[in-house]
Amino acid sequence: MPEKALLGIDLGTSSIKAVLVDLDGKLLSTAAREYAFDVPGPGWAEQDPQVWVDAAQAVIRETLRAAPVPAGAVQAVGLSGQMHGLVCLDADARPVRPAVLWPDQRSAAQVERINRQVGLEQLGKWTANRAAAGFMLPSWLWLLENEPETARRTRYLVLPKDALRLALTGSLGVEASDASSTLLFDTAGRGWCLPLLERLGVDPRLLLAPHGSAEVAGGLTEEAARRTGLPADIPVIYGGSDQPMGLLGQGILRPGQLACAISTGGQLVAPLASPVYDPLLRCNTFCHVLDGGWYILAATLSAGLALRWLRDAVFLGLSYQELADLAAGTPSSEGVFFLPHLAGERTPYMDPGSRAGFWGLTIRHHRGHLVRAVMEGVVYSLRASLDLLAGLGIPVEQVVASGGGSRHPFWLRLMADIFNRPIARSPVVEASATGAAILGGVGAGLYPDAAEAVRRAVAPPAEITLPDPARAEAYQAGYETYQRLYPAFSQLRDREG
């Protein structure tokens, strides 16, 4: 029985996950809890931070109950969280309103104004990113214009996992990896971008000094200990964004490796030795959870979310496994295509007004074709991002798949055939939560550094899915058709007004 264990918590958009691992990376127990986000207006996405706190307490208790070690074996807690979201806190550090999440599209007018007023070239130099709906900055500008009382009461702007850490430790703060996803941050300089704040009239006093991701923020409070079953005063690190935590949890530390994650959204993520960014700002460059590191991110907003929509809106009662089995049992989509822009789209279009749709349906198509077309559409969207990264000179020697999209062999087969590359399946079940646990160990001094933590605690991928040449050729033709959907759908949208 291991004497020491590490707890990692990943605060997602649709669920929260906890993992308990020993210092060699062996999974001791895990738990998860789903929740929904609220849609109080068209294109909106909000969550009450108390939902996160309640869910975190529940999964921690469940993880401890299932663990083969006592709660006293836990040496540190690491946090990973959904990016970009806006949590407004008052002077007493209490939420003023529900958090505005990354899928939220209400700030399209503010995005347009930022890009026009500052300019894409200057945004690239200052932040390495363009404005996008769902980022903290445009969401805050929307609140300033539409909810002035909310803005008046707000004293601090933080991100979702920061609100959860506050509930666990009483420690108020932010760190560089999440801060760089707000569009308020100098990504290369790893500090708040004061010229941008001045240009847009954002009060810098709303923003807290960023800390290191592995830095200990404080110990677990007596109240949090009582509600979770953990001993009080266990060190909790500041934590970081889910994407770089996922890189760490999969052992992806060097340029040349690329993570492909299909969860609520879909992401391609590659570590960088320097803050390289796309001059056209079609993808994102953010700070890594490792000090002095960066990574580049290409994202599609509706990946697993597209399958969840299909499940909840059309195929009531079917599980994700059953949906994927249905798609795998359908030999092809037979000319049906799906553009997965249910919440607008980021890479490569950066278009919050884009809309999803099927194309090519006939009376002979059945539900297997629909599911397969949705899953193919998600991977086609990721293929467009992969092509963009390759065009920027980002080396891609190995693609490692993780998230819900790595759990069914059909997702892996689609990635291998549509990317036309071997796909290594990450052996880590919950990469971001595992990365958070490992970084917690670094912060608590149980590993000398992240490289040693990865060497000791993360097994390399063993399962490889190779592309089938015939299917890869057919998917190349399908991809070329898919690439014509967005311009055609956008033209129709613009015509209809």
Neighbours of 492 (CB within 10 A): 11
Task: With CA atoms as reference, report the closest residue to 126 among 212, 203, 210, 194.
Answer: 194
Q: What is the pTM of this model?
A: 0.87
Q: Determine the length of the chain.
A: 497
Instruction: Indicate whether 178 pLDDT > 80.
Output: yes
Over residues 333-382, the pLDDT tens digits come to 999 999 999 988 989 998 878 999 999 999 999 999 999 999 999 999 99
- How confident is the model over 269-316, as pLDDT tens digits? 999 999 999 999 999 999 999 988 999 999 898 999 999 999 999 988
pLDDT, one tens digit per residue, over 57-112 is 999 999 999 999 999 999 999 999 999 999 999 999 999 999 999 989 899 999 99
Domains and CATH numbers, the chain: 5-243 (3.30.420.40), 251-425+467-497 (3.30.420.40)
Residue 496 has pLDDT above 80, yes or no: no
Q: State the DSSP string of 421-487.
A: S-EEEPS-SSHHHHHHHHHHHHHTTSSSSHHHHHHHH-PPP-EEEPPPHHHHHHHHHHHHHHTTHHH
Band of the pLDDT at 263, cuts 50, 70, 90?
A: confident
pLDDT at 353: 85
The rounded distance, in Å, linking the Cα atoms of 46 and 37 is 6
Mean pLDDT, the chain, integer:
95
Two tokens, residue 96:
């003023």
